[in-house]
């Protein structure tokens, strides 16, 4: 029986060898693929832009000459006044006047006078900017009280934040 198996496997091997002779082994031609890859690489290299390095940016590292005036840019400092839904007045995230029935806001006025005086000393008279943000539930009278306090302090530049038309 084993002889019959050896003969049939030999016939199968011969049949496979004959079929292989008729059909060549499949091959993948890579020369055109390499050409396309280099064309794409060249295209992307020529069309892309490189981000400038920090060393390539232009900086002016000249030191001022002794005795020459130094230019200082004025960057305005903004004092933020907020009125929450309960009517409490906040200045730079510090609660100042919590009594809603008191309309003169003495703590806010004192704080604004301090800010104005410090600004006059450090910034040589440049204007103060105050930004007011009020919750939607705040009464109009409380907002007017804050505006009156700003007028008493002599602050003329006021910004209103998050107010709807």
Angstrom distances, CA of residue 116 to CA of 79, 97, 105, 143, 146: 10, 19, 17, 20, 16
User: Does a structural domain hold residue 107?
Assistant: yes
Q: What is the pLDDT of residue 86?
A: 87
User: Does a structural domain hold residue 65?
Assistant: no
* DSSP E strand stretches across the chain: 78-83, 89-91, 94-97, 129-134, 157-161
Domain that holds residue 24: 2-47
Give the SS3 label for residue 96. strand
Do both 148 and 91 map to the same domain? yes
How many domains would you assign to the chain?
2
Q: What is the pLDDT along the chain (165 residues), one digit of tens a residue?
A: 555 556 667 777 777 776 666 666 777 788 888 999 999 999 998 888 776 555 555 656 666 666 666 665 556 678 889 888 888 898 888 888 878 888 888 888 888 888 888 777 766 656 678 888 888 888 888 888 888 888 888 888 888 887 665
User: Does a structural domain hold residue 41?
Assistant: yes
User: Does a structural domain hold residue 68?
Assistant: no
- pTM for the whole thing? 0.52
Max intra-chain CA distance, the chain: 119
What CATH number corresponds to the domain at position 102?
3.30.420
Do both 89 and 16 map to the same domain? no
């Amino acid at each position: 029986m084993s002889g019959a198996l050896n003969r049939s496997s030999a016939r199968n091997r011969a049949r496979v060898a004959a079929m292989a002779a008729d059909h060549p082994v499949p091959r993948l031609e890579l020369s055109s693929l390499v050409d396309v890859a280099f064309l794409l690489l060249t295209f992307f290299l020529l069309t892309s832009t490189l981000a400038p390095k920090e060393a390539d940016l232009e900086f002016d590292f000249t030191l001022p000459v002794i005795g020459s005036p130094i230019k200082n840019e004025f960057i305005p400092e903004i004092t933020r006044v907020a009125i929450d839904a309960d009517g409490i007045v906040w200045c730079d995230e510090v609660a100042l006047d919590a009594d809603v029935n008191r309309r003169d806001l003495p703590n806010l006025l004192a704080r604004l006078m301090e800010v104005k005086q410090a600004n006059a000393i450090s910034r040589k008279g440049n204007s103060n900017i105050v930004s007011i943000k009020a919750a939607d539930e705040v009464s109009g009278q409380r907002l007017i009280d804050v505006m009156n306090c700003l007028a008493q302090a002599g602050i003329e530049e006021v910004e209103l934040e998050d107010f709807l038309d």
